[in-house]
Chains A and B, each alone.
Chain A
Amino acid sequence: MIGVGKMKQYTNVLDKPLSKGKQEVSLSAFAFLFSELVQYNQTQVDNIAELERRLEDAGYAVGARVLELLCHRDKVADSLEKGTEHEDEYMISEKELLVNRFISVPKDMGTFNCGAFVAGIVRGVLDSAGFPAVVTAHFVPMEGQQRPRTTILIKFTEEVLRREARLG
């Protein structure tokens, strides 16, 4: 059948999920919801750093729950690198972050990145898993590309590094 290539085939009618229809969320619905989240938070703050912090906090709550769901099913980041300069830094890079797909940040907002929300999710997941870290989102210009990519920078706390060293 066309269009059901990825769908799971259920042999028994009792195995089928209760809800009918597609099991995925439309990108538009997500984009509008996220846009509204940013707009709402923008009305609640008076500086950009505060906005970034609020988005990250919103993401943190999502991340803590997502860990339980193990939701990262089929999306693999474009790359995960270990920081070269610092032992405790890891980076996740994406050419085009889903939340940034439709967002153009005005010039007067400087380096503000809506990926702060994603950074919050990562921080939530890591924190709940017992790896407390400071996570931030940055735009990184790419050579030969019009758009910068987004890098999620993870900086683990000292205790994590000490523990890992002890465990070998």
Chain B
Amino acid sequence: MAAAIYSLFIINKSGGLIFYKDYGSAGRMDTNDSLRLASLWHSMHAISQQLSPVLGCQGIELLEADTFDLHCFQSLTGTKFFVVCEPGTQHMDALLKIIYELYTDYVLKNPFYEMEMPIRCELFDINLIQAIQKDRVALLGR
């Protein structure tokens, strides 16, 4: 089975990309593209919130395209986590919550991390890989 998750992005509250990871082999992006995509999504998210006919809308949570699904989770502080995955992949919202938890543990509790800056934490990387692998195993089991 091919990798279900293509890539993961974390953007800070002003739309700057602070973390990006590729999981699929197809469609790799260079740094500039990923930065552009991140701020594009940030703006789209804000626009969707304004345009939504639903009262108290929190912005796009899921974008379904022909070739991919994009699941987005925004924390109360405005940090956005989003994964690009295979169409129809399930339980991505749960995975995003897990990633948010890892972020609060291994990034925010790290004294060497500066807020709103790119994430470079070894422990976060290690635990993220484990979380995503676990998710894949769970998918295979289904």
The interface of chain A, by Cβ under 8 A from chain B, is: 28, 31-32, 34-39, 42, 102-106, 109, 114, 146-147
Cβ–Cβ contact A42 & B120, under 8 A:
no
B105 at the interface (CB under 8 A from A): yes
B109 touches A28 (CB 8 A): yes
Q: Please, how many residues of chain B have a CB less than 8 angstroms from a CB on the other chain?
A: 12
A35 touching B126, Cβ below 8 Å = no
The complex places the Cα of A31 from the Cα of B110 at a distance, in Å, of: 8
Residues of A within 8 A of B41 (CB): none
Q: Which residue of A lies closest to B124 (CB)?
A: A104
Contact partners of B112 in chain A: CB under 8 A:
38, 103-106, 109
| B107-134 interface (Cβ within 8 A of A) | 109-112, 120-124, 126
Are the C-beta atoms of A102 and B110 separated by less than 8 Å?
Answer: yes
Of residues 49 through 95 on chain B, the ones whose CB sits less than 8 Å from some CB of chain A are none
Q: Are A102 and B120 closer than 8 Å at their CB atoms?
A: no
Determine if B23 is an interface residue (Cβ-Cβ < 8 Å). Answer: no
- Label chain A's interface by main secondary structure: helix
A103 neighbours in B (Cβ, 8 Å): 109-112, 123
Residue of B nearest to A112 (CB): B112
Beyond A42-B111, A102-B106, 9 extra complex contacts between A and B, CB < 8 Å = A28-B109, A37-B111, A102-B105, A103-B109, A103-B110, A104-B106, A104-B110, A106-B112, A109-B112
Bound complex: CA A148 to CA B106 (Å): 17
Q: Closest 10 A-B residue pairs measured CB to CB?
A: A38-B111, A102-B109, A104-B121, A104-B122, A35-B111, A31-B109, A104-B123, A39-B111, A106-B112, A35-B109
- State in angstroms the CA–CA spacing of A37 and B109 once bound together: 12
Across the interface, name the chain A residue whose C-beta is closest to B109: A102
Q: Which residue of A lies closest to B121 (CB)?
A: A104
In the bound complex, what is the Cα–Cα distance between A105 and B121 (angstroms)? 8
